[in-house]
């Protein structure tokens, strides 16, 4: 059975409640991405976003940009961070 365009739109709306809802921070130009994130990162980003992961990611990115910390990922920097975490536990 083929669906009409309006039937297809309605079906999509039913599957995605809240889709098209305005963002909390007023951002209108968005790209959808899938990311893999560790549990502690997820917890922090959701906390920053007040329970909203997407808002937390955008806000964390803004804060990093404002602080000037936009350097590319570095294995050396990451290894130092991991070493520091291991000694502080």
Q: Dump pLDDT digits (tens) for 25-83.
A: 988 888 888 999 999 999 999 999 999 999 999 999 999 999 999 999 999 988 988 88
Residue 66 phi, psi dihedral angles, 5° rounding: -60, -35
- Number of domains within the chain: 1
Asked if residue 62 is part of any domain, the answer here is yes
Of 70, 81, 1, 68, nearest to 40 by C-alpha is 81
pLDDT at 23 over 90: no
pLDDT digits (tens, 9 = 90+) for 54-70: 999 999 999 999 999 99
Residue 87 confidence class, pLDDT cut points 50, 70, 90: low
Domain region containing 40: 36-69
Report pTM: 0.66
Asked if residue 17 is part of any domain, the answer here is no
């Amino acid at each position: 059975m083929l669906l009409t365009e309006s039937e297809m739109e309605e079906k999509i709306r039913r599957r995605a409640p809240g889709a098209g809802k305005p963002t909390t921070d007023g951002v209108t130009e968005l790209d959808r991405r899938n990311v893999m994130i560790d549990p502690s990162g997820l917890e922090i980003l959701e906390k920053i976003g007040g329970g909203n992961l997407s808002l937390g990611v955008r806000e964390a990115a803004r804060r990093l940009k404002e602080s000037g910390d936009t350097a590319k990922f570095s294995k050396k920097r990451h290894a130092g961070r991991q070493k520091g975490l291991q000694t502080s536990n």
